[in-house]
Amino acid sequence: MSNALDPFGVVSSAMRAQLAWWMHPVELSRAVNGLSGDLLALQAHVARRAFGLPSTDVVTPHPDDARFADPAWTDSATWDIIKEWYLAFTHRLQDMAFETPGLSEKEQRRAAFWLRKWLNAVAPTNFFWLNPTAIERAVTSGGESLRQGWVNFQRDAKAKNIQMVPPDAFTVGKDLATTPGKVVFRNRMLELIHYTPTTEKVQAMPIVIITPWINKFYILDLNSRKSLVKYLTDQGFSVFITSWKNPDETMHDVRFDDYLTEGVSEAVRVAREFCQVPQVHLVGYCIGGTLVSTYMAWANKRYAEKDMPVADWTLFTTLVDFSNPGDIDVFIDEVCIEALEKMMAEQGYLDGAQMASSFRLLRSNSLIWHYWVHSYLLGEPLPPFDVLFWNVDSTRMPQAMHSYYLREMYLHNNLIKRDHLTIAGESIDLGRITQPLYAVTAFDDHIAPWKQCYRVRKYVNVATPVRFVLSTSGHILGIVNPPVNPPKRAYWAGEPEHNEHWERWQGRTEKTPGSWWGDWTAWLRQRADAVVDAYPVSNRKFPALADAPGTYVLEK
């Protein structure tokens, strides 16, 4: 009954944890004693604040926790006491969830995850009469903030979603994805865009970027200041990028194999033939990087060394070892996947809105409750933020492909197992890959944790040259990280040894202020074979089928 009614463990995980504690009275007694110590410290703190005496917080908010940034939460004794009671119980209960006796580590993480979601939901900042900022705003605005908050609530109720950005804030092709180029190839899986060169000479070897089909490609071409593809063309590279078809129910049987053969393999073929070169630089981002990793193993099995179509490859925030994929692991087990498969069987795909909701849950404070507070309690308008607009411009996942990906990659972790997967007629072994690799990760990435991404060094061939980069920020802004002055971010870049632990690698690698983009283009140039006259944006063999950003990206 639990599996049928609560496959993701929203309620049952808490019930199992509670039962486990009751079955271990000694451990429960120790936990209660720890909580009692916190309560005594809180009582003393309350007494000191009540009498106007100085007192140090019993529990300090995390530096990234913006909920209690208003000075009232510290300056006012009343609000400080509310904050301290909430944080004390939150921290203690979460610690107890992670330490639940008698549960597996995964069950503990799931219980802690859903408990954290409940605790985030009942934070005092989410309620008008417990939020000093909201109360002050209502008073100073003469109630206007409450009226506007009600308007915002009605807007979102109609949209059936807590919105993060106005749906009409941007227009793709006008405000976003504006770098000039042409669609030079199209099949049922993708459109391949070749960008107009901006230099008279270009590197002869083109760059082929395989974007994630879990989102739309223009995250790498947001605007002229943030566009990675514009930066590359301005640096004298010829750039091709994939814009994936947004699948509907007619594509329910599209497989992971099809994304490899009709997707990345075709993109590489077209770029080679377009530029009349034997090899390309191949780049993969997120799930596109997992596909590129699979393709590299596949191609090294399929082609003789002299015929290998890829000279070197780059990964952006990519997992190949899924043994510890972060918080998303709470959605990965047989019961959860069966529930998703049942849902996909009814639709023929996984709807983008359903997937977006799951990812928002991973960071509920910043992606859900932040907008609850600012839209409804403070009555603020939605910010026209390009990254958020891209984030909600979601895509669907074909049933067959997504089921295979969840089972073979996340559930069984078969990509790192030699010859366990057979894709497009070839057994897959990452150890066959010998081409130089440039791997970029992000320090605060909650979708592809960098320490897990680092493990790619372990699975490619021991002779493979690897340059590993750790950028500050998260899954998106760690990659969409243009050079600016003064620098906003920083990175570590160095060559890890085959079995070197991440901690040792980071400890001996210098932190450099700025963007890793320049380091990457320098690495690419070291492997470029020649400089030639800039290629035309289209040619007779591959005529322009549409202007960039193409037609597939506009499909809803």
Catalytic, 286? Answer yes
Give residue 479's identity as a one-letter amino acid code: I
Query: Cis link prior to 7 (omega < 30° from 0)?
Result: no
Is residue 328 a contact partner of residue 406, using CB atoms and an 8 Å limit? no
Is residue 398 a contact partner of residue 253, using CB atoms and an 8 Å limit? yes
Active-site residue (options: 275, 286, 336, 453): 286
Q: What angle do CA 68, 69, 72 make, to 5 degrees?
A: 80
Element (DSSP H or E) covering residue 203 = strand 201-203
CA 30 to chain centre: 38
Is residue 454 a contact partner of residue 505, using CB atoms and an 8 Å limit? yes
Cβ-count burial 223-262 (b if 16+ within 10 Å, e if not): eeebbbbbbbbebbbbbbbbbbbbbeeebbebbbbbbbbb
Q: Residue 52 is encoded by which pair of tokens?
A: 């106007």
DSSP 3-state of 426: strand
Give residue 487's identity as a one-letter amino acid code: P
CA 22 to chain centre: 38
Residues with Cβ within 8 Å of residue 309, at least 6 apart in sequence:
268, 269, 272, 278, 279, 280, 299, 303
Q: What angle do CA 145, 147, 149 make, to 5 degrees?
A: 65
**Residue 528 vs residues 85, 274, 279, 334: alpha-carbon distances, Å:** 60, 17, 10, 46
DSSP-derived secondary structure for 66-93: GGG-STHHHHSHHHHHHHHHHHHHHHHH
Distance separating alpha carbons of residues 193 and 173, to the nearest angstrom: 13
Closest CA to 365 of 79, 86, 34: 86
Distance separating alpha carbons of residues 164 and 159, to the nearest angstrom: 12
Is residue 519 a contact partner of residue 481, using CB atoms and an 8 Å limit? no
Is residue 191 a contact partner of residue 552, using CB atoms and an 8 Å limit? yes
Place of tokens 């109720």: 157
Residue 63's Cβ-side half-sphere holds a number of Cα atoms within 13 Å equal to: 0
Residue 12's Cβ-side half-sphere holds a number of Cα atoms within 13 Å equal to: 13
Residues with Cβ within 8 Å of residue 82, at least 6 apart in sequence:
124, 130
Give residue 398's identity as a one-letter amino acid code: P
Residues with Cβ within 8 Å of residue 342, at least 6 apart in sequence:
none
Which residues are catalytically annotated? 286
